[in-house]
Amino acid sequence: MAPQPESTPKKVDSFADIPVTVEARFEERMMDLRDILAIRPGTVLALKRPAGETLHVYVGNVCLGSAEVIVIEDQLALRITELERMDA
């Protein structure tokens, strides 16, 4: 009988404690350098994304899924609403 392949959680288990950066991206946009140099405290950068729309959550440059911004005890947080399919 052939040995069963190790399950994915066992393979990943030895890496489980490695810290990674998680990003929530609102929007990317191009700006002229002139406009960037004019940014001061209080400057408002308008976004095209409507309020309440979900954000994309990335680990490295890989999209983990989507999330909504929520408030928990006066702090912003993310509630994951959808996970991308992680095929090996």
Q: Which domains does the chain have, with CATH numbers?
A: 20-47+54-83 (2.30.330.10)
Cα–Cα distance measured from residue 32 to residue 10, given in angstroms and rounded to the nearest whole number: 48
pLDDT in tens, 62-88: 899 999 988 999 998 999 999 988 765
Distance of CA 21 to the CA centre of its chain: 9
- Whole-prediction pTM: 0.62
pLDDT in tens, 25-47: 877 788 899 999 999 999 998 88
Per-residue pLDDT at 1? 47
Per-residue pLDDT at 88? 53
What are the tokens at 65?
Answer: 């899924």
Question: Under 8 Å CB-to-CB from 20, ≥6 apart: which residues?
Answer: 59, 60
Per-residue pLDDT at 9? 60
What size, in residues, is the chain? 88
